[in-house]
Amino acid sequence: MPYLMGLDISTTGAKALIIDETGAVIAVANTPQPISQPQPLWSEQNPSDWWEGISASIRRALAESGLSGEDISAIGLTGQMHGLVLLDGDGEVLRPSILWNDQRTGAQCDAMTARIGGRRLIELTGNPAVTGFTAPKILWVRDNEPAVYAQAKQVLLPKDYIRYKLTDAYATDLAGAAGTSLLNVAERAWSAEVLDALEIPAEWLPPVHEGTQVTSTISAAGAAATGLKAGTPVVGGGGDQAAGAVGMGCVAPDKIGVTVGTSGVVFAPLSNYAYESEGRLHAFCHALPDTWHFMGVMLSAAGSLQWYKDSFAPDIDFDSLLAEADRVPAGCEGLFFLPYLTGERTPHPDPLARGAFVGMTTRHGRGHMTRAVLEGVAFGLKDSFTLIDQAGLPEDYEVRISGGGAKSPVWQGIIADVLAAPLININTTEGGAFGAAILASVAAHLYDDVASACEAMIETGEQVAVGANAAVYAERYEIYRALYPALKGIFAEL
């Protein structure tokens, strides 16, 4: 039987996953990754830690499965998006990687917008200048570390540094490249206009590939370090959200993904390139050919519930806490929660936005507050659906849900009612690594295309129907939408 491997370089771990051709998970190994914050707003990691971690995870996954490198037919890569890895002419790392959640580049984002024009930047790249993206990080190094910049010869994303170490080849995938602010997303090619405006050498950027294309093969050195077989094909793969969507089977416009992790993500595939005129939705290439996607991101989804429990109910388990919330009527008798604990991205790109309970009275107890958190996150997800709907949702679509926060039946029921759409659970929780392995299955010629692979490997589970509270939430949502504009000025003063 052929086996496939998915590798995921996330912010917290370096994961290796092995599946068979049916999608059954054979082995998973994950090596935790350290992170550094040397100054306020900074977030960095050492690429050498990724390489050591993924090498260890690959060897452990092979050992636990009882397989050898000879048994792996193809390998897919995924990982954190937007991070900057700078190499010199000898392929050596010049400085720690600046990560997706680093916020030091505000001035460089302003400079990008001034040089290219805000509207033109959105037209070309699908997004405004965002502090977490790669291009402003390059400009920051040029402005602040000129000696480092003078030695630079190659720009890579985090997972593509692992590709380089495995194969000795420079390459990236289109989904990841779309998150750099350097890609013409409609044309699926590096943007000469953006590169010229920012004076970034085009030769620094690796060739771009579709997620199912073979970019390179395992080198002798890569094989020696990992136990993989030299010559094993490595495919383009995808950025974490695109690969995660593949792992949910969200590869066509009729299947929308909702992920309730620390952050909350709404992922809507597109058959043609489109962008939201104000840049409130991300528009990227998907990890399969001729497909794009809209993505809405709220920064604190399950993170809001975790904060709430840690702060106010540390001695109560989640099940008991949510059981209390389930006894409270929909709408919490007038109590609202704004989930902007770490600022917000969609639909309010505002780092100064703050969390808030609004409407509290002496009638409200812990159960009300817990349910208000659950409802507030659900309303935040609906904000993304509202923007995507305005941009053009298909008439018929299904919503697939995943993530740790999605395991609660109470919360799933609230989300289904708020979205006024049934939710469909899926059989895997391995996220991006599973999606990367699915992409590899197409390159290994096990399936003709990604849709066929998803249909064979992904099983749908329980469906959560829309309940009687949908009408209540439709009314409450209009009040929720009015709260941020009313408080925006206060947040800024605070």
Q: Provide the pLDDT for residue 101.
A: 86
pLDDT along the chain (494 residues), means of 10: 95 96 96 92 95 98 97 97 97 97 92 97 96 96 98 98 98 98 98 98 98 98 98 97 96 94 92 92 96 94 94 95 97 97 89 94 97 98 93 85 86 96 88 96 96 94 93 97 98 94
The pair of three-digit structure tokens given for residue 249, joined into one six-digit string? 């089977």
Q: Provide the pLDDT for residue 369.
A: 98
CA distances from 455 to 228, 382, 424, 448, 452 (A): 28, 27, 15, 12, 5
Angle, helix 134-144 to helix 106-116, in steps of 10 degrees: 110
Cβ(288)–Cβ(274) under 8 Å?
Answer: no
- 160, 173, 240, 417: which one is catalytic? 240
Q: Provide the pLDDT for residue 423.
A: 96
Q: What is the residue whose two structure tokens read 């190659």?
A: 154
Residue 107 Rama label (left phi>0; alpha psi -120 to 50; beta): alpha
Task: Report the DSSP beta bridge partners of residue 97.
Answer: 45
CA distances from 261 to 243, 264, 296, 309, 401 (A): 15, 6, 13, 15, 11
On whether the pTM is more than 0.95, the answer is no
* Alpha carbons 5 and 475: distance in angstroms, whole number: 47
* Alpha carbons 105 and 249: distance in angstroms, whole number: 35
Listed residue (313, 301, 306, 5) closest to 162, CA to CA: 5
Is 240 marked active-site? Answer: yes
Q: Provide the pLDDT for residue 396.
A: 84
Cβ(254)–Cβ(398) under 8 Å?
Answer: yes
Show the domains of the chain with their CATH numbers: 3-242 (3.30.420.40), 250-426+459-494 (3.30.420.40)
